[in-house]
């Protein structure tokens, strides 16, 4: 079972609002001409184009100080602490918990999680921007113990014909490298306990979001 957590709005109310807007949208034939007009805009919104833009941004802010650590993240999403709380010596050893952050940027969400969670918590962070991943690694490694941290380049919004590997394969490869595992993992089975996407879904064009 998948549980969604937010601290800003009701998902049910948002769903109803979006359904009303979709019903009021013009038909496909009415929007065909507009789609043709907006071809240039589609190019600008393509994930590869966006990745290049973010590469440029993180090259200009390579120290990772542009975005401060999101210390509020644990209060906004208490489920992270519920799943990955600091170890209690009175409890039996818990299995490792995996937090996957999609769209990690310079690592501003990774740091508070690493600092507040137990050593049984591992974090995998990914971003469409290779430069962002480099900055994220550098920031984390210089600020805290990074033995339970790994970062890699991947974009879940890419279609199957736009990438040599699927997002699930990228995640499991990174997980295997971090855990030094060589066993084959079924692609149909997930590995993450928690998936964190901060300011990510709003940056994905609606046509690339499966409903």
pLDDT of the residue at 183: 45
**pLDDT-derived band at 40, boundaries 50, 70, 90:** low
Structure-token pair, residue 33: 């001409």
pLDDT over threshold 70, residue 200: yes
Q: Does 137 or 211 have the greater pLDDT score? A: 137
The proportion of the chain whose per-residue pLDDT surpasses 90, expressed as a percent, equals: 18
pLDDT of the residue at 72: 85
pLDDT over threshold 50, residue 37: no
pLDDT in tens, 130-174: 999 999 999 998 888 788 899 999 999 888 888 889 888 999 899
- Is the CB of residue 78 less than 8 Å from the CB of residue 64? no
pLDDT in tens, 108-122: 999 889 888 878 888
Q: Is the pTM of this model over 0.75?
A: no
pLDDT in tens, 46-80: 888 888 888 888 888 887 667 778 888 888 888 88
Query: What is the rounded CA–CA span in Å between residue 44 and residue 67?
Result: 24
- Is the CB of residue 150 less than 8 Å from the CB of residue 140? no
pLDDT over threshold 50, residue 90: no
pLDDT of the residue at 182: 44
């Amino acid at each position: 079972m998948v549980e969604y957590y937010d601290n800003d709005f009701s998902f049910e109310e948002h769903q109803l609002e979006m359904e009303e807007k979709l019903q009021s949208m013009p038909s496909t034939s009415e929007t065909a001409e507009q789609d043709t007009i907006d071809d240039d805009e589609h190019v600008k919104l393509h994930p590869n184009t966006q990745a290049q833009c973010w590469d440029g941004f993180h090259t200009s802010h390579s120290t990772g100080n542009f975005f401060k650590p999101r210390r509020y993240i644990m209060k906004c999403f208490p489920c992270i602490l519920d799943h990955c709380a600091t170890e209690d010596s009175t409890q039996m050893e818990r299995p490792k918990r995996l937090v996957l952050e999609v769209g990690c940027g310079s690592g501003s969400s990774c740091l508070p999680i690493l600092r507040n969670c137990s050593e049984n918590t591992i974090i995998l962070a990914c971003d469409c921007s290779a430069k962002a991943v480099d900055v994220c690694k550098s920031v984390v490694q210089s600020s805290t113990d990074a033995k339970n941290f790994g970062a890699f380049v991947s974009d879940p919004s890419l279609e199957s014909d736009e990438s040599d590997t699927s997002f699930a394969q990228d995640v499991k490869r990174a997980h295997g490298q971090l855990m030094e595992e060589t066993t084959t993992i079924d692609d149909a089975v997930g590995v993450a306990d928690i998936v964190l996407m901060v300011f990510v879904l709003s940056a994905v064009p609606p046509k690339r979001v499966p409903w």
